[in-house]
Structures are given as structure tokens and as C-alpha cells.
Amino acid sequence: MTARILYNVLQVLVVMVFAPLMAGTNARLKEIVQSKRGPSILQPYRDLWKLFHKDEVVSARASWIFRVTPYIAFVAPLFVAMLIPVLTSYPLFFAFMGDMLGGGFILALAGFFACLAAVDAGNPYGPMGASRTRMVSFLVEPVFMIVFFTVSFVAGSTIPYIVQQRWVASPADFFAPSHVLIVLAFLMIIIAETGRIPVDNPAGHFELAMIDESKSLEYSGRGAALMKWGGEMKAFVLMCIFLNVLVAPWGLAATTSVGAVLLAIPLVLLKMLGLIVVLVIVESSLAKLRLFRISEFLGAAFVTAVVAMIARLFAL
Amino acid sequence: MAHGVIGSVNALIGGLFLLTSFAMVATRQVRGCLQQFVYQSILLAASALLIGGSSASWHLVAVGLITLITKPIVIPWLLRRTVPERIFTRREVALTINATASLLVALGLAVLSYFIARVLLAAAGAEFAAVNLPIGISGLLLGGYTLTVRREAVPQLIAILTMENSAFFAGIAIAPGLSIIAELAVAFDALVLAFVVGLLTRLIHERTGHTEVARLTELREEGER
């Protein structure tokens, strides 16, 4: 029992520690594709260090929401990290505290507060970005639901560990059309939720075109660091769900020995590197969509998910 | 899945086939449409080869090979030769209904076709029909829908060819013993269709400067121009 609690804590720590590394790797790979050298993959750590040592400036008119939001944005992905399989293939101590929908709700809560804070600060670009983020996320929401429900329907449970076990147990279902389409839909959602190129340009510094970034424009110092770190962890957690539950449920620790759990860390990072390469290829080969084309992109994701669902319900 | 690996690979092909049909509804550019058609035809051929191989019917294997040669290679080549390049590169904005709404309608059609296929499957349950029949029917409906929504000549032609593809996709599962002469005739028919429509499009484009079908309703004398 104590081992399961400890591993759960370790899981959260892994998410905290390695999320900036993955963000840095992603940025570096993208620069390499654009035949630039790019910053070191450790750059996000340096950014965080720098931001934590700077003074924070908060507008005198900002309410408590503005102050609380960075902490919520930072903690929400950590809560989700307790629920999902990051390192082990057997359920840990907190695994039954919430299911995949619960995880989705926790992440949505962080997004909700980030939007409130963006409106709160009074920066004219904040509310604009907030409303756009809402538009993207309410289009993403139904796709999330359908993906989760289809996956849960197959596995007979909404607990991510059990879903993961199900794919390990029967690899024949892996190439079932519903599964492939679900993977495709989820990939599109990850792109939309983490603000990647066909939907949003994370490298852009033009306020009018921003979607995700403009919400944290007003933050400085510690607040900015927490928001940034929280965003990186959110991407990490989403990629973990994608890889460990849906695409590649192998390579996780199956026994409770310390060695197996520690060995799972580099394996998970390796899998994530593969996913990042795919994402970088997607990002580099597409152009950013116009704002009103985003609904088409997410409409396509929705259709993919629903086709997966009906293929599952009717064909078998 | 009764057939294990072959069954699930065929199911995967079916899923991707359905996805290309959806993509055809929403793709704007003519070139993109053609690309989707090429993918779809390759998937059709793969399914035919798989089913033919597993049920040892050389008819189906031959059908697969014919499809593999005519649809992904010869038809695009023919269209490229006959239709002016400008039509392919232009971004076609003329959709009667916007893409998101179209996708939702298409979704409804797909669900409907699964319901229809259920009734049909109860009557005649062939081996691979559980996958191929509903997907074929929905491809057929989606092709018809694309045909009504698109306003340009070339995408409409591609929609017709998609319907033909989908009918084949359903057919190879229901009637694997269909005689080869019928299949040959259909493949040849599709070729001639593509050629004729391509030539017509070229002529219309030369005469009127556009290929929007909705604007071709008025008759004009030759001397008026």
C-alpha cells in the first residue's frame, strides 16, 4: 500500500519535472525542421527559474481570481496526473478517485479560471483571447466526450487504468476501425487543446492573432512561471493519456519493484519523443487556420469520433 | 470478428474508406478531392484483394488489380490531361452549404446507412459484409450528398466516381462470385465517364471561363459572345 502511494507521488513528480523538458524538445525540434538551431531543450527550465526570481506585478484592480488562477492552473494537471497511468500499468492509490471524465473536468476547471482571470485583468486582449479559447474548447468538449465514451464502452469502464489493461490484453482490437479513428480524433483534440499550429500559433507574438497565449499576458514573475509550467504539464498529461491509454499501452511497469517503475520513466519519455516528432511534422506541414475555419477542423474531429462510435456500436 | 487478422485489417480499411468519403464532403480544393479519391480507390483495391485472397476467389483479385490500375492511376492522369490545370489549383469556395454543416449532415447519413445495413445484413449475412455493406452504403449516400452540394463540374465527377467506388466496396463483400466481365465493364465505364466529363469540362471552361454548374443554366447562341 505504501508503495502505491509513493509511486503515485513519484508519478506526479515525473509530470512536474519532465513537462518542461518535453516542451523544450518540442520547440527545439520545430526550430530544427525550420533549419534553425533553436534554443537548448533545457530552455524552459531556465525560463521558469528566471520567472520565479522576478518580482510579480499585479494590477491594483485585479480581484482574488487573478491571484488564485496561477495556482489552479498549476495544480489541476497534477491532480489529473494522479488518476492516469503515467508509469505503472496497475492502478495506484488514487486511481479510483476519478475517471477520465473527471480528469477532463479538472482540466476544464483550470481553463475556466484562466479565462476569468484574463477578463479580470482588464487588458483588452485578455477577454478576446478568453472568448476565443472558449470557442475552441466548447467545440473540443463533445469530441472529448465521445472519445472517452467510445473507449469506455470498449473497455467496460471509464477508469483509464482499466482501459489501458484492455488494450494490452487484446492487441487484435488495436486495428479495429473504431480504435484507429478514435486515435485520430484524439490527436486532433490534443492539437487544439495545447494550442498547436492548425488551430493556434504558440510562437506568435501578435496579440490580435493569439488564442491561448493572450490569457496569460498580464502575468509576471511567479504567476507567469506557474501559468507556463501548468500549461506544459497539461500538454504532458494529455500526451500521457494519449500514449499510455490509447496508442502505445506498452512499456509501463507491470510489477511493484522500484527498478521496473524507474525503468518506465525513460520508456515513457521515449514514447513521448515519438509523439512529439509526429506533432512537429503536423505543425510544420500545415498553416494556421483562420479563426472561423477552426470550427471546420474540430468538426472533422467530431465526425471522426462519431464515425468511430457508430463503427463500434453497429459493426460488432 | 470471425476472421481474426484479415477481418480486422479489412475493418481498418473500411474505417479509412469511410473517412475518405467524409473528407470528400469537406475538402475545398479540387486537387484535394482528387487526392482523396485516389486514396479511396487504393483502399477499395486493398479490400478487394484481401477478401479475394481470403476466400480464394480469383475474380475478386482480378477486380482488385483492375481497380488498382484504373482508378488511382489512369483516371487522375486522364483528368489531368483533359481538364485545364487552373481548375485544379483554384480554391473552390462554392459550397452550397458550409463545410461544418455538411459534415453534420454527412454524419446523419452515415448513421442512417448503418441502420439500413442492419436490416439488409439480417437478410443476407456474408462473411465480410458486416464491415463492407454499411460503409459502402454510407459512401454511396455521402457521394450523392457531395454531388448535390458541390457546384463545380470536376468535384461532381469525382463524387460520381466515389459513389461507384462505394457500390463496389459493398458489392465485393455481398457477391464475391460476380463474373469478371461485369466488373471489367464497370471499370471501363468509369474510365469513359471520366474521359467524357473531363473533355466536356475543358470545353465549357474554354467557352465560358468557369465550370460552375449552377451558372450554366442559361442557353446562349454561338454568335452572342
CB contact under 8 A, A296 and B26: yes
Half-sphere exposure of A15 (CA within 13 A, CB side): 31
Q: What is the pLDDT of residues B176-214, one digit of tens each?
A: 666 777 777 877 888 888 888 888 888 877 777 777 776
Q: What is the pLDDT of residue B209?
A: 73
Tell me how far apart the alpha carbons of residues A103 and B23 are, in angstroms, rounded to a whole number: 31
Q: What is the pLDDT of residues B103-112, one digit of tens each?
A: 889 989 988 9
Please indicate, yes or no, whether the overall pTM of this predicted structure exceeds 0.95. no
Tell me how far apart the alpha carbons of residues A198 and A295 are, in angstroms, rounded to a whole number: 11
Dmax (CA) of chain B: 67
Q: What is the rounded average pLDDT for all residues in chain B?
A: 81
Those residues of chain B whose CB sits closer than 8 Å to some CB in chain A are: 1, 4-5, 8-9, 11-12, 14-16, 18-19, 22-23, 26, 99-100, 103-104, 106-107, 110-111, 114, 117-118, 130-131, 134
Query: DSSP 3-state assignment of A89?
Result: coil
Q: What is the pLDDT of residues A241-294, one digit of tens each?
A: 999 888 888 878 888 888 888 888 999 999 999 999 999 999 888 888 888 888
CB contact under 8 A, B16 and A177: yes
Confidence label for B223 from pLDDT (cuts 50, 70 and 90): low
Tell me how far apart the alpha carbons of residues B110 and B90 are, in angstroms, rounded to a whole number: 29
Cβ-proximal residues to B44 (8 Å cutoff; 6+ apart), any chain: B17, B67, B71, B165, B168, B169
Tell me the nearest-neighbour CA distance from B8 into chain A, angstroms: 6
Cβ-proximal residues to A12 (8 Å cutoff; 6+ apart), any chain: A78, A81, A82
Confidence label for B91 from pLDDT (cuts 50, 70 and 90): low
Q: What is the pLDDT of residue A253?
A: 82
Q: What is the pLDDT of residue B97?
A: 80
Strand extents, DSSP E, chain A:
none
Confidence label for A66 from pLDDT (cuts 50, 70 and 90): very high
Best probe of the A interface among B9, B13, B19, by most A CBs < 10 A, is B19
What share of chain A in percent tops pLDDT 70? 99
Q: What is the pLDDT of residue B124?
A: 64
Say whether pLDDT at B57 is over 60: yes
Q: What is the pLDDT of residue A91?
A: 84
Average pLDDT over every residue of A61-66: 89
**Amino acid code (one letter) for A272:** M
Q: What is the pLDDT of residue A65?
A: 92
Say whether pLDDT at A85 is over 70: yes
Q: What is the pLDDT of residue B1?
A: 41
What share of chain A in percent tops pLDDT 90? 37
Contact of A164 with A242, CB cutoff 8 Å: no
- Which of the pair, A147 or A170, is modelled with greater confidence? A147
Confidence label for B125 from pLDDT (cuts 50, 70 and 90): low
Of A21-25, A211-215, B89-93, B194-198, least confident by mean pLDDT is: B89-93
- Which of the pair, A111 or B218, is modelled with greater confidence? A111
Chain B within 8 Å of A168 (Cβ-Cβ)?
A: no
Say whether pLDDT at A14 is over 70: yes
Q: What is the complex's ipTM, to 2 decimals?
A: 0.77
Q: What is the pLDDT of residues B58-86, one digit of tens each?
A: 888 888 888 888 888 888 888 888 887 77
Say whether pLDDT at A39 is over 60: yes
Q: What is the pLDDT of residues B13-51, one digit of tens each?
A: 888 898 899 888 888 788 888 899 999 999 999 988 888
Say whether pLDDT at A227 is over 60: yes
